[in-house]
Amino acid sequence: MKIEADEAKQQRIQDSNYTCEVCNKRFGSSQLQLAHKVAATKYNIKEYGRTVMYHKDMMVLTCDKCNDSVLINRAANPIEAMELIRKIQDENRLE
C-alpha cells in the first residue's frame, strides 16, 4: 500500500507541474505533500475505509504552509465532511 501511495503522490506531483494546489506556487517534490481533506484518523479509516480516506478527491497536493488550510474539521463542519465522504462512497459503488 505504501508503494502505491508513493507512486500516486509522484504522479500527482508531475501532473500538477510541481505546484501546490492551494497557493499555486511551484516547489520541489520533497516540499509537496498529499493532505487529507478529512483527517485519516484510525476512527475514520475504520468507519469509512481506506478506499474513501485515500481517494483522489479526498487528497490535495500542498506545500507545508498550505497543508492545514485544506482540512475539513468534522466537528466544526460535519455537513461538508459527510458530503465529501458520501460523494466518494457513491463513486466507489458505481465502479
CATH code where residue 78 lies: 3.40.1800
**pLDDT of the residue at 27:** 96
pTM of the model: 0.84
Q: What is the mean pLDDT of each run of 10 residues along the chain (95 residues)?
A: 72 94 95 94 94 93 95 92 96 83
| Rounded Cα–Cα distance for residues 32 and 64 (Å) | 7
Cα of 78 vs its chain's centroid, Å: 17
For CA atoms 45, 42, 3, 16, the dihedral sign is: positive
Angle ∠(62,79,68) on CA atoms, nearest 5: 20
Query: Domain of 48?
Result: 2-94
Query: How many domains does the chain divide into?
Result: 1
User: Helix or strand or coil: residue 79?
Assistant: helix
| Rounded Cα–Cα distance for residues 88 and 22 (Å) | 21
Quick: pLDDT tens for 70-94.
999 888 999 999 999 999 999 988 8
